[in-house]
Amino acid sequence: MTSANNLTTHHLTIPIQHEDIAKLKPGDIVFLEGVVYTAREGVYDRVLGKGEAVPIENLAEISNVNFHCSPAASVREDGQYAIGGVTATASFRFSKWMANWLDLTGTKVVIGKGGMPKEDYASILAPRQAVYLTTVGYGTGALLGRGVIGVRDVFWIDDLGIAQAMWMFDVKAFGPFIVDSDLDGNSLFASHNDAVAKNINSLYAGLKAPALSRYGETDDRKD
């Protein structure tokens, strides 16, 4: 652990131990080494919805870090996968699966972007002694991809596709990530979203209604 410019930086080895997770505070910076796995709605639905087994026995002994991610992957001439970038996807969409997934897999660190619903920090993550890390800004997929030094395995790619498959990445100096939440359920996103929400309606006052084209899109904030 180092500290510079008032930012505390942690270099953690996966599986991450409880005592190391307990040191993380919102706003800290994290770099990872070990194995990170990806799982999002395709994997969650397959395991939790359809009842299929997690394809890695004793997953938590290999990795307890779940990255909500869409990798940019291609197949090399030798048949191995090359990873050009790993772009985080919005985690709040997976809220309904998280409690059961953490219980089933022993996952203690979730990485994504945009944070989780406010109530999830206190009701899902903190009781399971898990924390949330977020990517730093947008357009960092290529930067994070430099930390992926190999693909250990990939599952269900033929039917779920590249984005939804379950990847096992060997990583080194993987980051930077910002600590969003701690073991007490405190969250940068939750606290700052409350402050922003107070004045957000005034930002849109007088503007024309947005043009919505994708299925399910709405401008009603209650939705």
**Quick one: tokens of 100?**
């059961």
Confidence band of 34 (pLDDT split at 50, 70, 90): very high
Would you give the distance in Å from CA 8 to the centre of its chain? 20
Confidence band of 145 (pLDDT split at 50, 70, 90): very high
In degrees and rounded to multiples of 5, residue 197 shows phi and psi of: -65, -25
List Cβ neighbours of 117 (8 Å cut-off, separation of 6 or more).
Answer: 92, 95
Would you give the distance in Å from CA 105 to the centre of its chain? 15
Predicted TM-score of the model (pTM): 0.86
